Structure 1
Amino acid sequence: MSLNEMTGGEAIARILKGCEVGPMFGMGGFQLLPFYDAARRLGLDHNLINDERCAVFIADAYAKVSGRVAVCDATLGPGATNLVTGLVEALNAGSPLVVFVGDTHRAHSWKNMTQETRQTEILAPACKELIRIEMIERIPELVRRAFRVATSGRPGPVVVAVPEDICHGTHPFEESDFAVEPGLADTPALRCRPARDDLARAARLLGGARRPIMLCGGGIHISDATAAAEAFAHAINLPVAHTMTGKGAIACTDPLNAGLFGRYDRIANKLIDESDCILVVGCKLGEIATKRYTVPAADKTVIHLDNVAEEFDRTFTPNLRLWGDAREGLQDLQVALEAESGAIRARQQGYADEVAGRMAAWRKSVEGRLTSDERPVNMARLLAEISRAMPADGILVADGGFAAHWSGLLYDTKRAGRGFVPDRGFASIGYGLPGAMGAALAAPGRPVVSLTGDGGFNMTMGELETARRLKLPLTLIIVNNAASGYVKALQHLMYGEGNYQSSDLQEINYARVAEALGCTGIRVEDPADIAAALKQGMSGREGPTVIDVVVTRDPAHMLPGVDNRTVQVRKGDRVA
Structure 2
Amino acid sequence: MPDSIRDSAAPVNSVLEMQGGEAVARMIRAFNGGPMFGMGGFQLLPFYEAARHFGMPHHLINDERSGVFVADAYAKVSGRVGLADATLGPGATNLVTGLAEALNAGTPMVCVVGDTHRDHAWKNMTQECRQVDLLRPVCKELIRVEAIHRIPEMMRRAFAVATTGRPGPVVVDLPEDLMHATHAFPAEEFEVDPANEAAPALRCRPDGAAVARAADLLAKAARPIILAGGGVHISGAADALTAFARAIDIPVAHTLTGKGAIPCVDPLSAGLFGRYDRIANRLIEEADVILVVGCKLGEIATKRYTVPAPGKTIIHLDIVAEEFGRTTRADVLLWGDAKLGIEDLHAALGARAAEMKARHAGYAAQVSARMAEWREGVAERLHSTERPINVARLLTAINTVLPEDGILVADGGFAAHWGGLLFDTKRAGRGFVPDRGFASIGYGLPGAMGAALAAPGRPVVAMTGDSGFCMVLGDLETAKRLDLDITIVVVNNAASGYVKALQHLVYGAGNYHASDLKEMDFAAIAQAFGCTGIRVEDPEAVEGALRQAIATKGPVVLDVIVTRDPAKMLPGVDNRAAVIRKGDRIA
Q: TM-score, normalised by structure 2?
A: 0.97
- Residue 377 of structure 1 pairs with residue 385 of structure 2: no
**2:440 equivalent in structure 1:** 428
Give the residue type in structure 1 aligned to 2:528. Answer: A
Give the residue type in structure 1 aligned to 2:82. Answer: A
Matches within 5 A, 1:20-169: 20-169=32-181
Q: Quote the offset at 1:181 in angstroms.
A: 2.0
Give the residue type in structure 2 aligned to 1:174. Answer: P
**1:555 equivalent in structure 2:** 566
Alpha-carbon spacing, 1:574–1:424, altered in 2? closer, same or farther (3 Å)? farther
Q: Quote the offset at 1:497 in angstroms.
A: 1.1
* Alignment counterpart, residue 519 of structure 2, candidates 507, 514, 523: 507
Alpha-carbon distance in 1 for matches of 2:89, 2:532: 36
CA contact (8 A) 2:507 2:584 kept: no
Matches within 5 A, 1:262-301: 262-301=274-313
CA contact (8 A) 1:6 1:171 kept: yes
Q: Quote the offset at 1:574 in angstroms.
A: 12
- Residue 8 of structure 1 pairs with residue 20 of structure 2: yes
Give the residue type in structure 2 aligned to 1:283. Answer: C
* Alignment counterpart, residue 176 of structure 1, candidates 179, 185, 188: 188
Q: Quote the offset at 1:190 in angstroms.
A: 1.0
Give the residue type in structure 2 aligned to 1:367. Answer: A
Alpha-carbon distance in 1 for matches of 2:174, 2:473: 30
Q: Aligned Cα RMSD in Å? A: 1.2
CA contact (8 A) 1:565 1:575 kept: no
* Alignment counterpart, residue 450 of structure 1, candidates 462, 467, 477: 462
- Residue 568 of structure 1 pairs with residue 579 of structure 2: yes
Any idea what SS the aligned residue of 2:233 has? helix
Alpha-carbon spacing, 1:208–1:4, altered in 2? closer, same or farther (3 Å)? closer
Give the residue type in structure 2 aligned to 1:31. Answer: Q
CA contact (8 A) 2:272 2:421 kept: yes
Give the residue type in structure 1 aligned to 2:442. Answer: G
Any idea what SS the aligned residue of 1:142 has? helix
CA contact (8 A) 2:228 2:258 kept: yes
Alpha-carbon spacing, 1:364–1:335, altered in 2? closer, same or farther (3 Å)? same
Give the residue type in structure 2 aligned to 1:549. Answer: V
Q: Quote the offset at 1:176 in angstroms.
A: 1.3
Alpha-carbon distance in 2 for matches of 1:177, 1:295: 51
Alpha-carbon distance in 1 for matches of 2:289, 2:305: 18
- Residue 480 of structure 1 pairs with residue 484 of structure 2: no
CA contact (8 A) 1:478 1:549 kept: yes
Structure 1 unmatched runs, 5+? none
Alpha-carbon distance in 2 for matches of 1:54, 1:287: 26
What do residues 185-205 of structure 1 show as CA deviations (whole Å, max 9, x unaligned)?
111011111111100000000
Alpha-carbon distance in 2 for matches of 1:385, 1:542: 20
CA contact (8 A) 2:507 2:581 kept: no
Q: Quote the offset at 1:406 in angstroms.
A: 0.4
Alpha-carbon distance in 2 for matches of 1:561, 1:126: 32
Give the residue type in structure 2 aligned to 1:410. Answer: L
Structure 2 unmatched runs, 5+? 1-10
What do residues 118-170 of structure 1 show as CA deviations (whole Å, max 9, x unaligned)?
00000000100000111111111110000000011110000000000000000
* Alignment counterpart, residue 339 of structure 1, candidates 351, 369, 382: 351
Alpha-carbon distance in 2 for matches of 1:185, 1:295: 37
Alpha-carbon distance in 2 for matches of 1:103, 1:181: 28
**1:365 equivalent in structure 2:** 377
Alpha-carbon distance in 1 for matches of 2:215, 2:190: 46
Any idea what SS the aligned residue of 2:334 has? strand
Any idea what SS the aligned residue of 2:545 has? helix
CA contact (8 A) 2:284 2:308 kept: yes
Alpha-carbon spacing, 1:160–1:574, altered in 2? closer, same or farther (3 Å)? farther
Alpha-carbon spacing, 1:572–1:206, altered in 2? closer, same or farther (3 Å)? farther
* Alignment counterpart, residue 397 of structure 1, candidates 398, 402, 409: 409
Q: TM-score, normalised by structure 1?
A: 0.99
Alpha-carbon spacing, 1:405–1:136, altered in 2? closer, same or farther (3 Å)? same
Alpha-carbon distance in 2 for matches of 1:574, 1:406: 30
Alpha-carbon distance in 1 for matches of 2:579, 2:507: 14
CA contact (8 A) 2:20 2:181 kept: yes
Any idea what SS the aligned residue of 1:72 has? strand
CA contact (8 A) 1:87 1:127 kept: yes
Q: Quote the offset at 1:569 in angstroms.
A: 2.2
Alpha-carbon distance in 2 for matches of 1:160, 1:564: 41
Any idea what SS the aligned residue of 1:382 has? helix
Any idea what SS the aligned residue of 2:553 has? coil
Any idea what SS the aligned residue of 1:166 has? helix
Any idea what SS the aligned residue of 1:124 has? helix
Alpha-carbon distance in 2 for matches of 1:516, 1:114: 35
Give the residue type in structure 2 aligned to 1:458. Answer: C
CA contact (8 A) 2:223 2:287 kept: yes
- Residue 441 of structure 1 pairs with residue 453 of structure 2: yes
Alpha-carbon distance in 2 for matches of 1:482, 1:127: 35
CA contact (8 A) 2:16 2:187 kept: no
CA contact (8 A) 1:133 1:160 kept: yes
- Residue 469 of structure 1 pairs with residue 481 of structure 2: yes
Alpha-carbon spacing, 1:85–1:574, altered in 2? closer, same or farther (3 Å)? farther
Alpha-carbon distance in 1 for matches of 2:197, 2:585: 45
* Alignment counterpart, residue 269 of structure 2, candidates 251, 257, 268: 257
Report how many aligned residue pairs link the two structures. 575
Alpha-carbon spacing, 1:4–1:149, altered in 2? closer, same or farther (3 Å)? closer
Any idea what SS the aligned residue of 1:412 has? coil
Give the residue type in structure 1 aligned to 2:422. Answer: L
* Alignment counterpart, residue 332 of structure 2, candidates 311, 320, 325: 320
* Alignment counterpart, residue 555 of structure 2, candidates 538, 544, 547: 544
Q: Quote the offset at 1:572 in angstroms.
A: 7.6
Give the residue type in structure 2 aligned to 1:417. Answer: G
CA contact (8 A) 1:74 1:100 kept: yes
CA contact (8 A) 1:98 1:158 kept: yes
What do residues 92-141 of structure 1 show as CA deviations (whole Å, max 9, x unaligned)?
00000000100010111111100000000000001000001111111111
Give the residue type in structure 2 aligned to 1:245. Answer: T
Give the residue type in structure 1 aligned to 2:366. Answer: E
CA contact (8 A) 2:409 2:444 kept: yes
